[in-house]
Amino acid sequence: MFELDNYWTKDVENLIRLLKSDYNGLSQAEATKRINEYGLNLLKPSSRINTLSALFNQFKSPIIILLLLSASLAFLTGDQIDGIIISIIILFSSLLGFWQERMATNAIEKLISIIHTHTTVLRDEKPVSIAIEQIVPGDIIILAAGDIIPADSRIIEVNQLFVNEATLTGETFPVEKNIDILTEKTPFSKRVNLLYMGTHVISGTGKAVVIHTGQKTEFGKISARIKSKPPVPEFERGIRHFGLVLLEIVLLITITIFGINVYLNRPVLESFLFALALAVGLTPQLLPAIIMVNLSRGAKKMADKKVIVKKLASIENFGSMNILCSDKTGTLTQGIMKIHSTKNIEGNNSNKILDYAAVYVSHRHITEYRLDMCFQITGVILYG
Spatial contact of 160 and 183, defined as CB atoms under 8 Å apart: no
155 forms beta bridges with 208
Please report, for residues 229, 269, 276, 318, the alpha-carbon distance to residue 370 in angstroms, rounded to integers and kept in the order given.
Answer: 39, 82, 73, 36
The secondary structure of 264-322 as a DSSP string is TT--HHHHHHHHHHHHHHHS-TTHHHHHHHHHHHHHHHHHHTT---SSTTHHHHHHT--
Q: Residue 143: count other Cβ atoms within 10 Å of its Cβ.
A: 27
Identity at 323, one-letter amino acid code: I
Spatial contact of 82 and 277, defined as CB atoms under 8 Å apart: no
User: In angstroms, what is the C-alpha Rg of the chain?
Assistant: 31
The distance from CA 135 to its chain's CA centroid, rounded to whole angstroms, is: 22
Three-state secondary-structure class, residue 131 = strand
Spatial contact of 150 and 118, defined as CB atoms under 8 Å apart: no
CA 329-371-331 angle, 5° bins: 10
What is the distance between the alpha carbons of residues 9 and 23, in angstroms, rounded to a whole number?
Answer: 19
What is the distance between the alpha carbons of residues 275 and 253, in angstroms, rounded to a whole number?
Answer: 8
Set 5, 152, 180, 327: catalytic member: 327
Helix or strand run (H / E) with residue 174: none
Helix or strand run (H / E) with residue 45: none
Specify whether 327 is catalytic.
yes
What is the distance between the alpha carbons of residues 211 and 139, in angstroms, rounded to a whole number?
Answer: 8
Catalytic residues, by residue number, are: 327
